[in-house]
A and B are shown apart, each in its own frame.
Chain A
Amino acid sequence: MASARGAIERTLAEIGHVLEQSLFAETLSRQPGLLQALDPRVKIVGLLALLVSVSVSRNLWVIGGLYGVALALAVVSRLPVGAFVRRVWLVLPFFTGMVALPALFMTPGPTLWSLPFDWVITRTGALTALFLLTRVGTSVSFALLLIWTTPWNTLLKALSVLRVPDGFILILAMTYRYIALLLGIVDDMFLSRKSRVVGKLSTADERRLLAASAGALLGRSLQLSTEVYLAMQSRGYRGRPRTLDTFAMTARDWAWSFGLVALAAVAMVVGQVGG
């Protein structure tokens, strides 16, 4: 039995999607806007604080308010607001929504709404589903703000503000960089194979192709890691990576970091009041 779209096509589509997504984020992050102009360390600390305040809130209104903050930040940063909203709320119902739906009926509590055939939505069930959906949606929005306004290489360097060691940052940087290369290699492997085949690949062929590609990719990765090590050595690397950042905090950066963290702190306190 073969699907309308084989596994190879789907993998190719996903690779394309990942490349597109990273290009989209990179393009956005280089455009002018409020968050884009802030020191990346301010953004990491500020947005993480807001993310945590979403996480600890016991109050739906506070979570809603925080989503408002996320939207406002997206607007002043001149992000495409439509895409910002759609990316979260069009995807969410399919995953978290599916997970939350049974909770409407299963969570014991006072009746909120009676449906035909004795189906009952409980108030507690509705609340718990709402908590899950809004919390996930708002969290994803804050994560998107970070990703869409900070070039990945800048974001990485700014991780040092969280005391992430230089070596680990270099590992993350090289991983991201070589993911891009390996994605291109896989893309070529699949496309060249596909172009040599007339018609559809059988499922067994697809599986064999996938295994062979994975195996070949592993070989290439290992070879690259050896070569890259030589290239690092040639330029003086001795196992102790050093990095240089050129970040400089301006008065505006300080003001914003204070503002975002204070906002998060207020939300954390207010959010402890149930509602």
Chain B
Amino acid sequence: MQTIRNLTRRHWRLLSVYGLGAAWLATTAMHIPDGYLSPITAIILYALVIPFWYRGLQALRTKVNARSIPMIALMAAFSFIIMMFNVPLPGGTTGHAVGATLAAILLGPEIGGLAVSIALIIQALFFGDGGITAIGANCFNMGVVMPYVAWWVYQAIGGTAPLAANRRVVAAAIAGWVAMTAGALITAVEFGVQPMFFTAADGTPLYAPYPLDVAIPAMIIPHMLVASVIEGAVTALVFSYLQRSNQAALQLNGAPATSATQTGPLSYRWLWIGLAVMAIATPLGLLAPGTAWGEWGSDEFADLGLSYVPTGLARLESVWGAPMADYEIGFLGNASAGYVLSALLGIAVVAGLVWLLTAALARRQHPAS
């Protein structure tokens, strides 16, 4: 069986350029089109998401009663617009946020998730962005997983800090980063199970072609480095704007009114706790390919001829796989090791970002110091 065992360094350089481009594209939108998921997967995800919509509508009815319809419609319209905002990135490029974290923090995960779902349905039905059969999947990934993860992280880090506290800005940033990464992970898992179950008689994958051990790093690494950072940054920026100019908006989900005074400079303790949470959250991605390896067994992998896939083009869409392969291809043969390294780099990047953000905030509040 001929595969790509003997690639030269030149090839890798070519591939790294390709991978970078692909990674960029992969991170601009997490919207799954029609055709990537088998009908069974699509139906399962519809079935998973509908109870959450129901729950969202219930929460809406109890929280805002008859006002619920205009309220959710305007919030969904707001989410739609936020998804269109281009956020400048270092290096002159721009990227999009999903806005699910912001929606979750402002409205709670039930109602916030519903608003994001409605925005996604409108995109699919009227603008052809994201598939119609994949509405269930997209709403599950971005309208359920993201807001719930975001809410959980935001609550865990924000704790009982006053609304105006810097700690909440950091919590919002980390929540955005973790939520987006979790969303990408779930999406990757949905892609990754396609070739396991939905192939033609001769084994040809009929839908998304890459197995879990390819799909997960290919999706998650660029997200950790770009899209998740954007989501975190947008959430934190808008959050801190609202802290300064519209605190009422931050109390929509029933958060207690607190004093409008800003707390002192950011305690670095919270930054470290936040990063620790992220460090714990990232290896979650590791568990999935680990399980896949375990379930399939290395023999099966060999049978499928997939044993060197992670060595080679597995990381095609990732930013890190290819350049690192230039130094040590063998090292990357161990998918987990490469993935851990990428995760560490991702954490370092986000740590830097959060640090810069909080430093900027601290400087603004204490110009003298």
Chain B residues close to A by CB (< 8 Å): 1-8, 11, 21-22, 25-26, 33-36, 38-39, 42, 57, 65-78, 80-82, 84-88, 90-94, 102, 106, 118-119, 121-122, 124-128, 131-133, 200-210, 214, 233-234, 237-238, 240-242, 245-246, 249, 252, 304-306, 309, 312-314, 316-317
What is the CB-to-nearest-CB distance from B357 to chain A, in angstroms, rounded to a whole number? Answer: 10
A107: contacting residue among B7, B125, B205, CB under 8 A: B205
What is the CB-to-nearest-CB distance from B87 to chain A, in angstroms, rounded to a whole number? Answer: 6
Residue among A98, A207, A237 with max Cβ neighbours from chain B (10 Å): A98
Closest A-B pairs by Cβ, 5 of them:
A108-B305, A139-B34, A3-B92, A239-B66, A174-B73
Are A152 and B67 touching (Cβ within 8 A)? no
30 A-B pairs in the complex with CB atoms less than 8 angstroms apart? A10-B94, A14-B86, A15-B84, A55-B34, A55-B42, A58-B206, A102-B210, A103-B210, A106-B4, A106-B210, A118-B5, A120-B4, A131-B207, A132-B208, A135-B34, A139-B133, A143-B131, A175-B118, A178-B77, A179-B81, A182-B77, A182-B81, A207-B88, A211-B241, A214-B82, A225-B73, A225-B75, A228-B73, A232-B69, A274-B200
Chain B neighbourhood of A58, CB < 8 A: 200, 206
What is the CB-to-nearest-CB distance from A89 to chain B, in angstroms, rounded to a whole number? Answer: 14
Is A114 an interface position by the 8 A CB rule?
yes
* A-B contacts besides A102-B317, A136-B34, 17 pairs, CB < 8 Å: A3-B94, A10-B94, A11-B86, A55-B42, A99-B26, A118-B2, A136-B35, A171-B76, A175-B122, A207-B87, A211-B241, A214-B102, A222-B74, A225-B75, A226-B67, A228-B74, A239-B65
The contact size tier of chain A is 35 or more
Chain A residues close to B by CB (< 8 Å): 1-4, 6-8, 10-11, 14-15, 18, 21-22, 25, 48, 51-52, 54-56, 58, 94-96, 98-100, 102-103, 105-109, 111, 114, 117-120, 124-125, 127-129, 131-132, 135-140, 143-144, 147, 152, 155, 167, 170-172, 174-176, 178-179, 181-183, 186, 203, 206-208, 210-215, 217-219, 221-222, 224-226, 228-229, 232-233, 237-239, 241, 274
What is the CB-to-nearest-CB distance from B247 to chain A, in angstroms, rounded to a whole number? Answer: 11
B133: contacting residue among A51, A171, A179, CB under 8 A: A51
